[in-house]
Amino acid sequence: MRADGETEYVEYVTARLPALHRTAYLLCGDAHRADDIVQATITALYRHWRRARSVENLDGYVHRILVRKHLDEVRGPWARVRLMFETPDRPASPEASVEDRDTVHRLLGGLTGAQRAVLVLRFACDLSVQEVAAVLNTSTGNVKSHTARGLAAVRRHLDVQQSGIGPAQSGIRSAER
Amino acid sequence: MSIEEDQGTARALHALLHETTVPPSRADIGEAVRQGRRAERRRRGAAATAAVLAVLGVVGATTAVLGRSGEARPEPARPTPVVSPGPVGTVTAEVETVPVTVTDRTLECKISPLTLPAETLQVHVRGIDPTGRFVVGAAAIMADRRPRSADGWYVLWDRKTPTLFKVPNPARLGAAVVNAEGVVAGTGNDNPGNGMVREFGWVYRNGQVQRLPMLPGYDAAHVAAITEQGDVVGHAYRLPPEGEMRGGGGAVPVRWRADGSGGPWPLSTPENGGSPVGVTRDGTVVGRHGFDKIRIWRPDGTTADLQMPPGIVRTAGWHVSGDWVAGYVAASDAQSPTPLMRWNIHTGTMYVYPNIDSQGNLGMAVTSTGRTIVSTPEDGFLLVEPDGSVGRLPTPPGAEDWPRKVDANVISDNGLLVGSAYLGPSASEGTGDYTWQCGG
């Protein structure tokens, strides 16, 4: 990579690192794994920077790398296949619930991997349905479906919290102010 | 679930995801670069490049052009710029720590919607002139959802009246800057079609977009700033040989003069080069050398590096106005906090704000009076006054539920900020564009 491209790469990654880390953390729910995912993402981005800097939607391109690294890291090489074809409403990973310590972890930990990825990209990264579909390499209909089912699951969780059964009511109230 | 429930859940989830605390990142950009370079080196199998690739930051000084197998090729013939060939000197800064407290105090600002051209859906404001009269931003028109420099549409506001203009062959990255005469400059991209990017500078003046000439011997250029006189400052560089990722050569700071004296004029020898970010009141160009050094090029042709103050191992400047440089400092090479700093290049005082961690974010700007705005992942956009008081930008009406989704990273000397605010996932365009008049 030429010096100028490298400077540009560093500028871009420096600016986007907090957001990438946040996305990775919300996707996987673990700080160390998030570090690994982001490290793998920005390393891959360096190797492909010449192509990346000429794409129309660089953030989308990087999100796509990050989601793939997340799936590779957490769930193995078949995860991408499962992400698109698994039946919904199956919890993402049993160990996630053990590690969940706050409301967000509980909310996201109860979702399928696909729902979690879609909701994080839609509502933490503020991507549109079309952009999420491009990142996940799937249809907009699939994204809408996972969004609706994911939100329904979140809604059920919030209802439980607000009915006084759940342990994290204060977090929900602050979120709805 | 009804639509209303769906939207309510979406808003609650949005707030939760944006407000939840995330542990600090330990990712290492330098390590990514090192690994990327190693991978590139393995691909090329060129042992001769090992010494160059092993050290961060030396790429800017590399002048050899290496072929696929590592053999040296003659550089293209070019005239040698006439600048001071002397060694790079040093300039010092005296750190003054400002232990400000970040609170929820909201600034008293007059908020107004930004008027967009009829055919424009959204804008991303990129530059403002010091007087606040002219504002420039990238525009999204028609069905485009988000403004992108790559689309080539720009809006120039003159006293809040917008004009839409088109830049042929726009670049995806790079700033658009404007001075108090309404002259806009930016970076374009010829994109030769082989996956490469060949940047060039452009100027928009009197309704016309004009291409800036290349520095002889160089085939690409990038624009960073424009002066009050209309001089454009940036850097020139060479593309690597066809099929190569490396070997184009380092950045040479250049100035395109508006006085008809031609150019661009190199500001240093290639060995003393770097990437400018701005120009101070006295004409000193401030920029970067490598990843972690501030370098200046003085009007007399000399070059100097900012000597790291005690306890600081890297620093970067991202915006320049008057005598001020806004940027950040870091106390270690790892992912340590990167607190905001503003350095007065005239007096040498560097004010460091340990409680305002930019986390490496480039969203910051300073006025000639020393007011600084900074985007922090933790606290959103903050306005830091010269006396050390800190306040948040008020949220525009209609965006009350999204207090930390304000994006305004340009400010004029008279306190005009321009940017956008997030209106929530149910809003048709997602964001609205506003001006904030915060003091004078």
CB contact under 8 A, B14 and A2: no
Q: If you count residue pairs, one on A and one on B, with CB atoms under 8 Å apart, how many are there?
A: 187
**Per-residue confidence (pLDDT) for residue B15, from 0 to 100:** 77
CA B44 to chain centroid, in Å, comes to: 32
Domain residue spans of chain A: 1-77, 89-177
State the sign of the Cα–Cα–Cα–Cα dihedral B314, B319, B323, B327: negative
Fold that domain A1-77 belongs to in CATH? Rna Polymerase Sigma Factor; Chain: A (1.10.1740)
**Structural tokens at position A27:** 């996707």
Span of A6-15, A141-150, B165-174, B248-257 with lowest mean pLDDT: B165-174
Q: How many CA atoms lie within 13 A of B265 on its CB side?
A: 18
Contact B107, B391 (CB under 8 A): yes
CA B8 to chain centroid, in Å, comes to: 37
Q: Which residues of chain A lie closer than 8 angstroms to B275, CB-CB?
A: 4, 7
**Per-residue confidence (pLDDT) for residue B203, from 0 to 100:** 95
Whose structure tokens read 């790892």?
B334
Shortest Cα distance from A14 to chain B (angstroms)?
Answer: 6
- Sequence-ordered alpha helix ranges (H) in B20-105: 29-44, 50-53
Mean per-residue pLDDT, B205-227:
92
Query: Per-residue pLDDT tens for B105-134?
Result: 889 999 999 999 888 877 888 899 999 999
Contact B240, B247 (CB under 8 A): yes
- Output the CA–CA distances (angstroms, integers) from residue B264 to A35, B36, B200, in the order listed: 43, 33, 12
CB contact under 8 A, A38 and B13: no
**Per-residue confidence (pLDDT) for residue B2, from 0 to 100:** 55
Query: Per-residue pLDDT tens for B307-331?
Result: 988 888 888 888 999 999 999 998 8
Contact B331, B310 (CB under 8 A): no
Contact A147, A119 (CB under 8 A): yes
Shortest Cα distance from A81 to chain B (angstroms)?
Answer: 26
| End-to-end CA gap in chain B | 50
Query: Per-residue pLDDT tens for B142-190?
Result: 654 454 545 678 999 999 999 999 888 766 556 789 999 999 999 888 7
Smallest CA-to-CA distance from B154 within B180, B182, B131 is with: B182
Span of A74-83, B6-15, B118-127, B360-369 with lowest mean pLDDT: A74-83
- Residue B208 CB contacts under 8 Å (≥ 6 apart), including other chains: none
- Output the CA–CA distances (angstroms, integers) from residue A67 to A12, A27, A92, in the order listed: 18, 8, 15
Query: Per-residue pLDDT tens for B47-91?
Result: 343 333 333 232 222 222 222 233 333 333 333 345 777 789 999
d(CA A150, CA B81): 62
**Per-residue confidence (pLDDT) for residue A99, from 0 to 100:** 34
Q: Which CATH number is correct for A89-177, 3.50.50.60, 1.10.3720.10, 3.40.640.10, 1.10.10.10?
A: 1.10.10.10
d(CA B129, CA B133): 7
> What strands, in cross-sheet order, belong to the sheet with B232-237?
B220-226, B232-237, B252-256, B265-266
